[in-house]
Structure formats: structure tokens, C-alpha cells
Amino acid sequence: MASTKCGLYALALVIVFAFSFLLECFYHCRLIRSRADNIALAYTTLHALRISLAYLVMLMIMLFNDGVLIIRDALKFLLT
């Protein structure tokens, strides 16, 4: 039973990482090239998607705070 909970917790942390990675891709990729007035709705939609995803990532990190901190510290130790 404990191994199942640990596995689900690890899966949840992987999902948090995937959402964070997707969020960073949204911030660094230029999905729409033109700045014409007729695509203002597309910019607004992308901005709403970015903000919503950032809010979800914030909530997930707050929920899994201990695990995220432990993994971050472990990676920092291994990489430095």
C-alpha cells in the first residue's frame, strides 16, 4: 500500500514538472507572428491560457511543497 502511494506521489510530481515545462514553453515560444488587429482575440486567448496554467502550477506546487523542495535540493546537490 505504501509503495502505491509513493508511486502516485512521484507521478504527481512528474505531472507538476510537465505543467511547469509547458508553461515555460508558452512564455518563450512565439506562437503568433503577426501583430495585426484581427488576431487580438488569439493573443487574448493565449494570455488567458498562460495565466490559467501558471495559476494551476502555483496551486500544484503549493500542494506538493515538501516533495518539490526535496527534489529541488537533491538536484541542486547533484548538479553542483
| pLDDT at 2 > cutoff 70 | no
| pLDDT at 54 > cutoff 80 | yes
Express each pLDDT in 26-46 by its tens digit: 777 766 666 666 677 777 888
| pLDDT at 63 > cutoff 60 | yes
Number of domains in the chain: 1
Which residues, 6+ apart, have CB-to-CB distance to 76 below 8 Å? none
Q: Which residue has the cell 503577426?
A: 34
- Domain, as residue range, for 12: 2-79
Distance of alpha carbon 54 from alpha carbon 18, whole angstroms: 12
